[in-house]
Chain A
Amino acid sequence: MVDRLGKQFGGVRALDGVSLEVRPGEAVGIIGPNGSGKTTLVNLITGFVRPDSGRVVFRGVDITRTSVEARVRMGIARSFQTPRPFYRLPAFRNVIIPLCSRRARERLGSGFGRREEVALDLLEEVGFERDAAAVTKPASELPHGYLKRLELARCLALDPQLLLLDELFSGMSPAETASLIPLLLRLVEEGRSLVLVEHRLAELFQVVGRVVVLDFGRKIAEGHPADVMAREEVRRAYLGGEVSASA
């Protein structure tokens, strides 16, 4: 799916020939220390940043030069690491925005009140039902965990075939993450591809069957979570410096 991608920002090699393939119905985790190129990889796959080298292929189509909007229409959606809601709009209206996109219009049609209905359903799905008032509160008044879930609902509104979640779990309470994991597993079961950029490894490993480790823009390991985490170079990259076997 992603072939030898490279990207430089000034003199910094943010991503250096990283290749990655995600199959339908598969969840892949991307881990690595800060600045290792995880978010850059997400930006390249979703089209927010153009690569200097390499290709992005989605379902057999080369989309390396395709716009963000066209990629969304093909079924690629992403969440942002720091939530980027529409602060002045109530939560459920936040979800109406993606429902106005071409992909959603083709799927839903445009019946009166249909978008509100779908938006409320999506918010319930990501866990807004615990606080009914949260649905109509402006996003600026919502706590962090709700903003993260709002971000997820905005992605789900696009009915994505490939969903890239950039640190979805960060800043969430264990109870909140626990409530989201079944939803993510169901998305995978439905045949969607998931890419999770994550620092919270315990939660991540409940969802993904394969992880990719990035360090300084290079892929240093890939495979089953337990195998990958056992490797010396991964531990070194992750924990920094010399690590004894007992660490």
Chain B
Amino acid sequence: MKAPVAYRRERLDRGIKVRSDDIFALAGWPEILYLAGPRVAAAGFLLVFPLLRNWTGDYWQTVFLVAVSMMLAAVSWAFLENVGLVSLGHSLFFGAGGYLTAIAVLDLGLPPLLAVLLGTVGAAAGCAVLLAPVLRLRGVYFSLVTFALPLLFARVIEATKVLGGTEGLAGIPGLGSLEVRQYLLVVGLLSATFGLQRLLDSDYGLVLHAIRDNDLSVRASGIPVGWWKFGAVLVGVLPAALAGAVLATHYHVVGMSAFALDYSVLPLTAAVLGGSGAMAGAAVGAALLVPFSELLRAFGTLRVVAYCAVLVLVLVSVPEGLFSVVRRRYHQFERWVPL
């Protein structure tokens, strides 16, 4: 009788990966293309798509705008997750960006572009200050606070009728044309994705990873953990706040819906779908999820159910995220070898 042969999966780095990764040798175009190709292709798509308005029609251009906004929110979520701050209330950052922009335009009379920048930076600073007292909380306790805050803001606005109450703040002038808004978001997205990834890969990113691992040892190493977390929130909120700010000028109105659960669940789902280990993974997740959710438009608020279904499916089947799987296939080949 023949014993059953057991197999294991073997993963080997592709030759080109080995050459361009460990030896730092750029021998020619194949290597350069291999390394830069995916990035350039993705960035190129984002930069070219707004120019195809005649061909795609306005509807898909608006979907593109929303998708890029959610990609920003997802990148923001993934960055904070990498620092050990799991946010369940990203709509807080999103809504803060929107409301502050509205105030800057309507009450301070600033031009829209300036208002968007001020709204973005102001929201990041405001949220960082707001969260500063709870940054020392670890794990699920921090998440619970972030979960409660947007709900709290929405109820306060509803009950006290500040900031336009349930009506919201309307009459926000548009920021240039659709293309201007799209390119502002795309530039923001590209700098956030590559900038934050670079930050995470640097020694500073190492310290941030270490804080997630074990903050006592980081303190014993002479690094003020509180300030570092504060800085991480400040930087990490920026992309989400920018998305909220630009979308406010796009819709000409910002209301309590900016604090809605959708904007908290979507970045989280996107980051899990794409894989939150890499900033680009979160962005890819959102780029897949938003068009998908457009197809479910008829179901209204039931879309949150779809997000949750995607979340559960991905967590069970590809817990590392789609982007991580694709990236691994790009760098390595697999084969089954007998044990």
Q: Which positions in A face B, CB cutoff 8 Å?
A: 46, 48, 67-69, 72-73, 77-78, 80, 84-89, 93-94, 96-104, 115, 154, 157-158
* With known contacts A86-B213, A89-B206, A97–B218 Cβ distance under 8 A: yes
Given A96-B203, A97-B207, also A88-B213 (CB < 8 A):
yes
A47, chain B: closest CB distance, angstroms: 9
Q: Are A84 and B217 in contact (CB under 8 A)?
A: yes
- Interface check B327, CB cutoff 8 A: no
A69 near B217 with CB under 8 A, answer: no
Q: How far is the CB of B2 from chain A (nearest CB, A)?
A: 37
Q: Which of A69, A77, A87, A154 has the most CB of B within 10 A?
A: A69
Contact among A67, A72, A87, A93 with B221 in the assembled complex (CB-CB below 8 Å) = A72
B residues at A contact (CB < 8 Å):
203-204, 206-207, 209-210, 213-214, 216-224
Residues of A within 8 A of B219 (CB): 48, 68-69
Pick from B209, B216, B222 the residue with the most CB of A within 10 Å: B222
Min CB–CB distance B259 → chain A (angstroms): 34
Q: A46 — which chain B residues lie within 8 A by C-beta?
A: 220
**Which of A68, A80, A89, A103 is in CB contact (< 8 Å) with B210?**
A89
Having A68-B219, A86-B213, A157-B221, one finds 11 other A-B pairs with CB under 8 Å, namely A46-B220, A72-B220, A77-B222, A86-B209, A86-B217, A89-B213, A96-B206, A97-B223, A100-B206, A101-B222, A102-B222
Kindly report which residue of chain B lies nearest to residue A98, judged by CB atoms.
B221
A to B CB contacts below 8 Å, 6 in the list? A86-B217, A89-B210, A89-B213, A98-B222, A101-B223, A154-B217
CB distance B221 to A154 under 8 Å?
yes
Tell me the smallest distance from the CB of B139 to a CB of chain A, in Å. Answer: 15
With A97-B207, A100-B206 as contacts: A69 and B222 at CB distance below 8 Å: yes
Least CB separation from B228: chain A residue: A100
Q: With A96-B206, A100-B203, A115-B203 as known contacts, state yes or no: A69 contacts B223, CB within 8 Å.
A: yes
- Bound: A89/B200 CA distance, A: 13
Chain B residues near A115: list those with CB within 8 A: 203
Contact of A68 with B217 in the complex, beta carbons under 8 Å: no
Chain A positions within 8 Å of B218 at CB level: 97
B22 CB to nearest A CB, Å: 13
Residue numbers in B under 8 Å from A48 (CB-CB): 216, 219-220
A78, B206: Cβ atoms under 8 Å?
no
Q: Tell me whether B222 and A104 are in contact (CB under 8 A).
A: yes
Chain B residue contacts of A67, Cβ below 8 A:
224
Give the CA-CA distance A115 to B207 in the complex, in Å.
13
Q: Which residues from chain A contact B223 at a C-beta distance below 8 Å? A: 69, 97-98, 100-101
* A218, B217: Cα distance in complex, Å: 28
CB of A85 within 8 A of CB of B217, answer yes
Determine if A97 and B221 form an interchain contact, defined as CB atoms under 8 angstroms apart.
yes
When chains A and B are docked, how far (Å) is the Cα of A154 from the Cα of B207? 13
Residue of B nearest to A139 (CB): B213
Contacts of A101 in B (CB 8 A): 221-223
- Taking the closest CB of chain A, its distance from the CB of B263, in whole angstroms, is 30
B4 to chain A, nearest CB (A): 31
Complex-state Cα separation, A94 to B214, whole angstroms: 11
Whole-angstrom distance between the Cβ of A58 and the nearest chain B Cβ: 14
**Nearest 8 CB-CB pairings of A with B:** A72-B222, A101-B222, A98-B221, A86-B213, A69-B224, A84-B217, A86-B210, A97-B210
Q: Which residue of B lies closest to A75 (CB)?
A: B222
Chain A contacts of B210 at CB under 8 A? 86, 89, 94, 97
Return the contact of B209 from the options A69, A80, A89, A158 (Cβ within 8 A): A89
Q: For B204, what are the chain A residues with a Cβ–Cβ distance below 8 Å?
A: 100
Write the chain B residue with the least CB distance to A103.
Answer: B222
Q: Which residue on B lies nearest to A74, using beta carbons?
A: B222
B220 near A78 with CB under 8 A, answer: yes
Query: Could you tell me if B207 and A100 are in contact, using CB atoms closer than 8 angstroms?
Result: yes
> B residues within 8 A CB of A68?
219-220, 222
A157 to B223, CA, bound (A): 13
| B138 CB to nearest chain A CB (Å) | 14
Instruction: Judge whether A88 and B209 touch: CB under 8 Å.
Output: yes
